[in-house]
Amino acid sequence: MSIYLDSGASTRLDPDVRAAIKPYFSDHYANAASLHKEGQIAHSAVEKARETIAKSIGAKSHEIVFTSGGTESNNFALKGVGFANKTNRNHIIISSVEHECVLNAARFLERQGFKVTALPVDKQGFVSFDALKKTLSKQTLLVSIIHGNNEVGTINDLEKIGALVKEHGALFHTDACQSYTKVPVNVDMMNLDLVSINAHKIHGPKGVGALYIRGGTAIEPLLHGGGQERGFRSGTLNIPGIVGFGMAVEAIKHQDFLRMAKLRDLLIDELLSISGARLNGPRENRLCNNVNISFKAVDGNSLLLQLSDQGIMVSTGSACSSEKMHESHVLNAMRVPKQHITSAIRFSLGKYTTKAEIEQTIRTIKKLIKHMREVK
């Protein structure tokens, strides 16, 4: 059995989620838009999941729109708000450490005539509050700030940021795909108008996500068709995925995140004992499952592949960009020295990670790094 420490990329399906999904492939496979009995069974299952997800962030059920995942949710938030409001305000603020789908959606809007500002971050990856203060204006339409960073685990203070955004009458969006269920999100306390979440980062199925849209928010649909999801997102609903999403939220309520944080800290402490090791991101206000460490004089991709050969699965950053093998824009924005960027490894724990697996990982990494440095 391999040791899987890449839960920031995706997670193993929870057995309770698998059991909940199964009947919607074989027994209750009707379209939720159908008026007959089987269609209404599917519809009821969707609404139950919608209510569960809404409650988890302090929202109302009708404010949850199901999507195909985090990328669609983020694109919907930025482009939908932009297209619906372009005659009123044309300024969009993001941070320089957003997930690439937010960065690229913002670049797209820039090509459509919007003004886009990417806020700087400090050396720990926290968004500059002072820069946000200076950048907000009467023309600011939307502020999009990631909650828990997917590469280095930095948790931004959305309550503080949201209060400032509200003062300026702008809309506030967060990509909470990595932080969802690990860090409390309350849409009213944080003054959030839009929140992107997905299922496969919380031991749910792939291919399903959601966008919270505060009631009354002007937003243009990306997909046009049969008018499903109250016209916000046309297309036949992914019933098994949605049911699995709802069950994943229920199942994760019983997860021991304190145990996970202790395993994270054990991994950090032991890896920092290696000569030339550097932690990227903060010790405090960090996602409980995230460790990002650079090892001096070690190539990150080579270490990743050697760990994989030893049965230990990690990453060098965002799974969405790993195929391109380019330098991390997050570490660049944090002003991490180049030699540490190319040697960075991300470990992300899941609910099934054990202490024995962490200890085995530590032993293996120490052995591999010693060997790699000797050979070099």
pLDDT band, very low/low/confident/very high, at 1 (cuts 50, 70, 90)? confident
| 302-341 burial code (b ≥16 CB/10 A, e <16) | ebbebbeebebbbbbbbeebbeeeebbbbbebbebeeebb
Q: What are the chain's domains?
A: 3-11+256-375 (3.90.1150.10), 15-252 (3.40.640.10)
* Cα distance between residue 36 and residue 98, in whole Å: 44
Name which of 53-67, 272-286, 291-305, 322-336 the model is least confident about: 322-336
Residues 65-104: pLDDT tens digits?
999 999 999 999 999 999 999 888 999 999 999 999 999 9
**Catalytic choice (101, 177, 288, 320):** 320
DSSP E strands, the chain: 3-4, 64-67, 91-95, 115-119, 140-144, 171-175, 194-198, 209-213, 277-279, 290-295, 312-313, 344-348
Three-state SS annotation for 5-45: CECCCCCCCCHHHHHHHCHHHHCCCCCCCCCCHHHHHHHHH
Residue 57 · residue 214 · CB < 8 Å = no
Residues 131-150: pLDDT tens digits?
999 999 999 999 999 999 99
> Is residue 320 annotated as part of the catalytic site, yes or no?
yes
* Cα distance between residue 363 and residue 248, in whole Å: 33
* Cα distance between residue 311 and residue 296, in whole Å: 23
Which amino acid, one-letter code, is at 23? P
